[in-house]
A and B are shown apart, each in its own frame.
Chain A
Amino acid sequence: MDIIIVGCGRVGYILADHLSKEKHNITLIDTNDHRLAPALANLDVQAVMGNGTTYSCLMEAGIKSAELLIAVTGEDEINMISCMMAKKANSKCQTIARIRKPEYLPERNYFKQAFGMSMIINPELAAAREINQLINVPAALEIDSFARGRVDLLRLVISEDSILNGMKVMEVSKKFDRKVLICIQMHNGEVTIPNGNAVLSAGDSISVILPKPMISKFYNTVSDNNLSTIKNVMIIGGGTTGEYLAEALCDGGVNVRIIEKNPDKCDVLAEQLLKADIIWGDASNHDVLLAAGLEDMDAFVTLTTTDSENCFLSLYAGKVAPKCKLITRVHKLEQDEIITTLPIGSIITPRRLTAEYILQFVRAKMNTKGSNVEALYELMDNRVEALEFSIRDDSPVLNIPLANLQTKNNLLICAIVRGKKIITPSGKDELKLGDTVIVVTTHLGLQDISDILAD
């Protein structure tokens, strides 16, 4: 598929990287050739220097044959005009725009109708939604959904007093009527796809795949009592994300306390959020945090503008309130490997979320054209991929009991969705035409269900 990406910032670069590796033809447009140079050197893409809102520039990038234009420059208006120009130049081209200003939020549906945009992504809103989901399911560090939300993949860290501590993977599965499957285990930084005999220990980060209805049962059994529901949340930083988040949490009946150091901002927030407590103060002052009742909080969300401050705040909160669920926003992607080792709870990276949402859209679009990856998530520092395949064509893997299938090492078939049934596969089960299959593997870049076979 020919895809044009306008704006070669971080999101543009991530998108170009992933999409070019998924065999799409990518053309990047940016006004700054210093931003284009690294993409040209490292990625298999083409670049056009120029303004993505101009017809001539879009023509040079090949808008006539493009099927998708993704506008992710820093300016909302440029993104919108770019999408509008693209739609005018080639009505068959679908468009995605990143639009982040809150005042455009109510206009989203109008944009879609009037300008034919296929998708509008707001990073702050996406981040707020993601955080909201994490707070609703407190034990999870990360939640990804498959099969249109019927199957979830949870990531959690096993604590000292968790009942999972010391259990075998097989036993966990038995405990929940074989409906829960532990598919990834990170033990001391080593990522493996565990077999039934692997033993879980405290400190391990694991990913569990389970049907949605099982979540609360799994939770109540696994998690410490204190974490079972979250009633009080402290948010540091009342920016756009904080506002969206507070709104969503308040609607869910959660007590929200926002700490913001800009007094004007506090006034605005207080006007808009009726139920939330707004506290004017500098959160880097520990007394402010303690006075605001940090020790009684169930969740602590850091949304200040600086990454390092967010990290330090979370580290401090983890020390003062050990039972508190921590959620830290980090903008930069580069320090991933180091940051994930810090005890700062869940990490939310708006840029990555934006890229992930768009990638899912592209994959779903590809789906209608033959490739059968329904959904794809990158887990544990991009070392593991969880994929959802829909089986539409005949394939050598069909109708063979899984026990007889020679699959790749480090690959696990986690779930088979057949009609309304969700099957946690055993050796006797077979894949059938029309199934949706969820696979977790360390072999990155699988394209088709038949790729699960060993070479």
Chain B
Amino acid sequence: MNYRAVTKVTNYVVGLMGLFLLLPAMIGVIYKEYHVALIYLAVAGGCLFVYTLFWHFLRKEPKRSRGFYGKEGFVVTALSWIIMSLIGALPMCIAKDIPHYIDAVFEVASGLSTTGASVIPDLDVVSHATIFFRSFTHWIGGMGVLVFILAILPRVSGSPLSILKAESPGPTVSKLVPKIQTTSLILYGLYIGLTVLEFVLLLFDKDLPLFVNICHTMGTAGTGGFSVTNSGQAGMSQYTQIITTIFMLLFGANFSFYFLLFSGKIKDALKIEELRWYFCIWFIAVSVILANLFFSGYGFKENILGAAFSCASLMTTTGYTIVDFGQWPVFTHVVLMTLMFVGGCAGSTGGGFKVSRIMLMIKQIGREIRQQIHPNQVYTVRVDKKPVSQDVLKSCNTLFIAYVLILIVSCLIVSLDNFDFTTTFAGVMATYNNIGVGFGKVCVGGCFNIFSDSSKIVMIIDMLAGRLEILPMLILFHPNTWKK
């Protein structure tokens, strides 16, 4: 293990966190919450102090430095996300917005992992600085902090691809251009561009206060889901709800789609198989839910926006809500729960298991059936007409097993709190898949502060593991990683 390089990159993250914390401090000053602003400023100062200290010690390059391999990349990623959650929780806790530290860590981890599960029962008593900061964590968590570092820093020695691999969702990472730094810059450029576009479109809604607009946009962009007011998205105008639906879907789509679009390869962009599956799944889910609602006597017209919004919100793992789907029939719950599991596209800001992996697994089932019928048939799984290598399929299947196992263990621990099955299962699903809203007691309007500390810790780990797609976390805690 190259401790030096790991410390160095982690230290960049601490420094960056210090800079990020200056923003809520500014918001605090604007809203005259000087006490809170001071706390944010102090923590930011602390971060920057630690950063300078380590930077000073690590300034001189050793003569023969060890390499930076895949292992280091994964460890750095997992460590950074944990450290960011721990640091981000400090000001919230000290400012008494969330007095309990574990609650605060939960809130920040929920923000960074773009989950949006909140432990704050009443948002009206919380300072603007904290509300802004948790929405801001969505935004930085959406694209990933280390991708950002890769974009702005001169080349980190060794293979930074492992960082990109660890932080960006999906079974395979496709670099858009040969240079990793340019790739990161393009990704962040697209991300910022889309975010600004939504912000500008929402400016047309005169009833939407600027502060709510900013926080709401950042929440959509990162597919997070923290609300800004107690009424949430239900109180917003229909215009804003429609724009939000569209942008949730856009942010849940593969970012290489936009890259191809902008580089003029519109035909190639529209041919991306995952994207077609993604929109198909969403459309089918909306249709069956609407049909079910209609035949169960809930009405059709008045539910179109609600169903479209809810499906987009849960599929992209955002977690915004405009209707209380807890009141809908059970069939819709199962459809929505399936969407929660499926998640967004690879290479997007969405969570979940990812459409591309579902696609691979379904195609593998097809292959298995064909091979049972004609035992000697050679059949390759293809995506975008290109054969998928066995390694990718294997890692996809292994990930699924790990996913299910962690889900079961998490449910077991959370079930000790003795809530009903729906609450327990949906609570874990909502955090593990980075959605933030579930069913039962954590449905629309529910709050995660009902869970015990031990459950919260499990959910914190679940949220981060879900965002980083499990492996980096498992690698961090695997003894072999730390063996000489």
Contact = CB atoms under 8 A, between A and B. Distances in A.
Interface stretch (B96-104, B120-128, B174-182, B471-479): B174-182
Contacts of A46: 175, 177-178
B250 to A, nearest CB: 26
A156 to B, nearest CB: 27
Nearest to B158: A42
Contacts of B181: 44
Contacts of A45: 178
A44 B178 contact: yes
B159 A42 contact: yes
A41 B175 CA distance: 12
B161 interface: yes
A25 interface: yes
B161 A33 contact: no
A307 B276 CA distance: 54
Nearest to A41: B159
B35 interface: no
Interface in B180-203: 180-182
A interface SS class: mixed
Interface string A43-76: 1111001000000000000000000000000000
B382 interface: no
Contacts of B162: 41
B66 interface: no
B18 to A, nearest CB: 25
B155 interface: yes
Contacts of B182: 25
A201 interface: no
A20 interface: yes
B389 interface: yes
B155 A44 contact: yes
B159 A27 contact: no
A40 B155 CA distance: 16
Interface string B384-404: 001001000000000000000
Interface in B117-167: 155, 159-162
Contacts of B389: 33
Nearest to A44: B180
Nearest to A26: B178
A44 B389 CA distance: 21
B46 interface: no
Contacts of B178: 2, 20, 25-27, 44-46
A26 B180 CA distance: 11
Contacts of A2: 178
Contacts of B177: 25, 46
B161 A40 contact: yes
B155 A41 contact: no
Interface centre among A2, A42, A49 (most CB of B within 10 A): A42
A49 B392 CA distance: 15
A349 B309 CA distance: 64
A43 B160 CA distance: 9
A440 B317 CA distance: 57
Interface of B: 70, 155, 159-162, 175, 177-182, 386, 389
14 contacts: A2-B178, A20-B178, A20-B179, A25-B178, A25-B179, A27-B178, A33-B389, A41-B70, A41-B161, A42-B159, A43-B159, A44-B161, A44-B181, A46-B177
Given A20-B178, A20-B179, 9 more contacts: A25-B178, A26-B178, A40-B161, A41-B159, A41-B161, A41-B162, A42-B159, A44-B161, A46-B178
Q: Which 7 A-B pairs have the closest CB atoms?
A: A25-B178, A46-B178, A44-B180, A46-B175, A26-B178, A42-B159, A45-B178
